[in-house]
Amino acid sequence: MKKVFTLMLLSAFSAAAHAQTTAPETQPYGKVDMADLEMKACDFEKDANAEVLFDKGKAYFDVHYNAILDRHMRIKIFNDKGKDHANIKIEYYSGYGENIYDIQAQTINQTDGKLEITKIDKKLIYTQVVDKVTKAMVFTFPNVKPGSIIEYKYTYSNDYGGLPDWYFQSDIPTRYSEYDADIPDLVHFKNLVRVSLTPVKQKMDKTGQLVNMALANVPSLPNEPYMTSRHDNLQHILYQLLSYTQIGGYTHTVEDNWQKIGENETNYEDYGEQFRRRLDGEDTIITKAKGLKTNDEKIAYIFNTVKNTVKWDETYRPYTNDGTSAAWKKKLGNSAEINLMVYHLLTKAGVKAYPLLVSTRKNGRVNPGFPSRFQFNTSVTYVPIDSANYYVLDATNKYNFYKDVPANVLNSYGLLINKEDKKYDLVVVENQKPIRDVVMVNADVKPGGKMEGTAQISSFDYFRKVNIESYTLNGEKKYIEELKEKDNNLNITSLKMENMSVDSLPLIQNIGFNLDLTGSDENYIYFKSNLFNSMGANPFLSENRASDIDFGFRNNYLITSIYNVPAGYKLDALPKSVSMTMPDQTITFKRLAGEQDGSIMIRYVIDFKKTIFFKENYAELHDFYKKMYEMMNEPIVLKKS
């Protein structure tokens, strides 16, 4: 694959247009306001550990029409926790013609009313090789302490003419951020603007391209429960290069659609050229697979063989590093290498399969209207079953099951690589079936305010995977603590796991427990009926939300509890049977309650009809969860007769 090309445009464009102007919100390098040095906290986010004072980027093209970005950033450190922001790592695609140079960095302190400037030694700025195509410039500011200001500037360039993206927001507040771009008339970009805040500056050129935007007082983006990728939720601008015009007026289009991207991928040495590479000893595996009766048996065998033979190096990459043959020999590979092995062996065994470029949820959802290979960060294997069903195979995680679409790539798109038919289409990667977690509790309530009983939890699909992974990696002792959910009154006396090695069956956990019913006295016993609820505590307590909510898959919870009333007591208060639904019908909650022959039965049924909720609709979800948890926490009251 060749990403690099040189723009040969009309020479009338002047390179002098790149001269950086100074906005009133920024200062030249090394010139610092004393008010900023004396500042103790961020004006608009008081609890911040650090604050970006300004982040200024100027993008332009040189006389050879290489794209260049001059960037200058200044950060205020408020406390010891903020000192983490003095560790800088700037990644770039060196293998695709990108470069970082002319780095300057310094720490500014105030000592006895005088400025103390400590410049970073250039020898302490080093290049880190991340992988075959990615490098990073890494350095740490010296003499950083609470009250310090750190600043750095650098120049980024690429030789393919693409403008770098710009993020106005980060995990600390930003007082001012501005991106300014000088774009020649003969170069055309498509903008993707994800900015919900009101810009303090904004300018379009005569062709409608965004060339300037500035935001002020940008809050930090917190980590929120069920958050989609941080990159998806940050305030940002993306630029996609569509075309450029050469001398003579001939216009070239670049990778402006998915078909072109797919075609180029198949010719890339570290991707398409790996599809047919032999693996040592593959004939034995292929022969055995061909001898199995059904495609499902073949898929399961090959998937598990690769999964159990090659160790994942814990890096997600869309392309191979050493190549599939070398990774197979080493029994160690990145995500692309491992999953291209699966694809290769399946096709050799006669199973129709395709490589699929995807993005993990942490990396971000793929935007179908913004074709770019840089949206993908890993590769998996796609196996069509029929016109409506398919498998998505990822053999990197030892707990993945071939029939379950990997949870970390759900709710996005993948680029299907059909090299044989020269078809390269986006496909939706999702799982629409409800994923069940079933809890059955049977307990005796004891006089004196104690409970003793058993619970059985049946966890299917993703719930199964999460629980097995947690149990295996953390050990039984820590797993039991997680089951208790920080309830010191709950004591788990026994735990037996069933079906841990049978992927097609639900994980069954058989639990023995006893519980101190606090708040009870000699006349009344109080207890709640949501023991071992895998939903945990309410994750949506905050009144506001900055990011979209992605549950990943459709949750379906069934919790049934039977409590035997002790002799000498009678039921005094029982929650009512109730049903509640979100305004758009996407979540339903039901509680059934009843008593018969000295036993109390409570059943909760919670069903999700969709998986993604936008932050604009958070108020409805927040209110629903608040009411739902209030109902689940309503006590049952027994009275001494």
pLDDT at 10 over 70: no
Both structure tokens of 540: 């949506």
pLDDT score of 248 = 53
Residue with tokens 């090789």: 129
pLDDT at 252 over 60: no
End-to-end CA distance of the chain: 81
> What does residue 307 show for φ and ψ, rounded to 5 degrees?
-60, -40
**3-state SS, residue 202:** strand
**3-state SS, residue 357:** strand
Residue with tokens 């069940």: 436
Say if residues 507 and 497 touch (Cβ distance below 8 Å).
Answer: yes
Cα 70–Cα 74–Cα 77 angle in degrees, nearest 5: 155
Say if residues 135 and 127 touch (Cβ distance below 8 Å).
Answer: yes
Domain range annotation of the chain: 27-252, 258-429, 435-640
pLDDT band of 249, cuts 50, 70, 90: low
Which CATH topology does 435-640 take?
Answer: Jelly Rolls (2.60.120)
pLDDT score of 360 = 96
| Closest of 402, 410, 436 to residue 552, by C-alpha | 410
pLDDT band of 400, cuts 50, 70, 90: very high
pLDDT in tens, 343-373: 999 999 999 999 999 999 999 999 999 998 8
**3-state SS, residue 122:** helix
616 DSSP 8-state letter: G
Mean pLDDT, range 630-641, rounded to an integer = 94
> What does residue 404 show for φ and ψ, rounded to 5 degrees?
-100, 125
pLDDT score of 132 = 86
pLDDT band of 5, cuts 50, 70, 90: very low
| Closest of 558, 556, 388, 360 to residue 461, by C-alpha | 556
pLDDT in tens, 266-301: 999 999 999 999 999 999 999 999 999 999 999 999
pLDDT at 22 over 70: no
> What does residue 252 show for φ and ψ, rounded to 5 degrees?
-105, 135
Which range (47-56, 60-69, 289-298, 345-354) has the least confidence?
Answer: 60-69
> What does residue 441 show for φ and ψ, rounded to 5 degrees?
-115, 135
- Mean residue pLDDT across the chain: 92
Mean pLDDT, range 507-529, rounded to an integer = 93
For 69-81, give one letter per residue: b (16+ CB within 10 A) or e: bbbbbbbbbbeee
pLDDT score of 391 = 97
Got the DSSP string for 260-314?
A: HHHHHHHT-TTTGGGTT---TTHHHHHHHHHTSSSHHHHHHHHHHHHHHHSEE-S
Say if residues 156 and 69 touch (Cβ distance below 8 Å).
Answer: yes
Residue 412, beta-bridge partner list: 429
- Please tell me the CATH code under which domain 258-429 is placed: 3.10.620.30
Say if residues 539 and 628 touch (Cβ distance below 8 Å).
Answer: no
pLDDT band of 9, cuts 50, 70, 90: very low
pLDDT band of 251, cuts 50, 70, 90: low
Mean pLDDT, range 37-60, rounded to an integer = 96
Mean pLDDT, range 380-399, rounded to an integer = 95
pLDDT band of 7, cuts 50, 70, 90: very low
27-252 belongs to CATH 3.40.1350.10: no
**3-state SS, residue 130:** coil
Torsion angle of C-alpha atoms 361, 366, 372, 376, degrees rounded to 10: 30
pLDDT at 541 over 80: yes
**3-state SS, residue 158:** strand
- How far is residue 22's CA from residue 565's CA, in Å, rounded to a whole number? 76
Q: For the whole model, what pTM was predicted?
A: 0.89
Mean pLDDT, range 511-530, rounded to an integer = 92
| List of residues 6+ apart from 52 with CB closer than 8 A | 73, 74, 75, 170, 172, 173, 174, 175, 177
pLDDT at 11 over 50: no
Mean pLDDT, range 143-157, rounded to an integer = 97
pLDDT score of 26 = 80
pLDDT at 17 over 50: no
Say if residues 582 and 624 touch (Cβ distance below 8 Å).
Answer: yes
Which range (15-19, 468-472, 488-492, 537-541) has the least confidence?
Answer: 15-19
pLDDT band of 8, cuts 50, 70, 90: very low
| Closest of 390, 393, 219, 391 to residue 303, by C-alpha | 393
Element (H, E) at 628: helix 618-632
Per cent of the chain over pLDDT 90 is: 82
Mean pLDDT, range 476-489, rounded to an integer = 91
Long-range pairs for 481-484: beta carbons < 8 A, 24 or more residues apart? 483/511, 483/532
pLDDT in tens, 171-225: 999 999 999 999 988 888 888 899 999 999 999 998 888 999 999 999 999 999 9
Got the DSSP string for 386-432?
A: SSS-EEEE--SSTT--TTSPPGGG-SEEEEEEETTTTEEEEEEE---
pLDDT score of 21 = 38
Both structure tokens of 449: 């305010």
Mean pLDDT, range 325-340, rounded to an integer = 97
